[in-house]
Structure 1
Amino acid sequence: MAKVDGTFLYIGTYAGEAAARDDYAIVKDLHTDGAVGTYDAAVITKDSSGKVHVNKDEMATRHGGWGGAAAGAVIGILFPPAVIGTALVGGAIGSIGGHVWRGLSRSDVKELGELLDSGEAALLVIGASTLEAALDKAQLNAEKHIAKELGVSTDDVDAAVQEAASEIN
């Protein structure tokens, strides 16, 4: 059973970017319909040189409240900076990443990284534990996926996002 204030992480892999974007649109619709609370999501792709690119629709993530910072923190944990081809949320990643990192074991990080390596594109969604039931019901079309309750409260992530935002502004 998911914790009421817990943080949930979903990563699915896809044969192509278009399929990942289709599921990304489903997640945005779930939020619009009120099925999920605070969340952040990104489509992740790799180019032919192995660089990781993070593709986001910034308007959608603003509605989630975390504004790209939570997904950026997870990506920063899973990939070394040298392979990330897209600028992430800078200093916010360190603060938020610390909270997310506490919710993941080393084996979780390895498993998530290997999953991302197995597909051409991926969808990463992180948010309130209400995501779990909503994503199950939506039946996303990932070829493979991992879903994890992180063991860190959304309040902790919210506080880290607010702190990082105040440091940027």
Structure 2
Amino acid sequence: MYALAQILAVQGVEPALPNGLRLVGKEYHAKSFQVLQSVVVASPSWSSDPGVMQWLVPEPGLKTGDLFKGGSCDTPAELIAHFRTLPAARTSRGIFITNEVTHLDDMAVAQDELSDYQKTLVTNPEWMAGRRKSIQELVAACEKEKIDLWINVNLGAKKLRFRKLTR
């Protein structure tokens, strides 16, 4: 089961991909969550307030249990400012959001991956609308800054898939 947060990862340079990450058509596929641990990771919170999405920014290379050690960003602008401080080797592919529920191909399949708390949130239309609005604000900020933004379309510790949100 995943921690009560979504994960956002900033990918490495082309053409080298972390072992286990590959481009398939218009999607990136990661063979496991561990593939993303070698990159910079950030995590939007799972606050019950539909208007709150804080981006937690742990240090790179932390283990799964340590993902929430580090700083945080309260807005897309702060997250992008943090992104801009990172080496080009980590940012050339853009930002990858994982463990998010707003863009899943099949929410019913994801139910086994969610905690009871998360299930309560995702069934709240106001919470889901606030979540989508926060993601759209990040999309707009990334488009303005010409940063690719990818989001997961499935949940699970294996075979993660990401679809591009920016143009």
TM-score, with length taken from structure 2: 0.27
Higher helix share: 1
Larger relative contact order, structure 1 or 2 (CA cutoff 8 Å, min sep 6) = 1
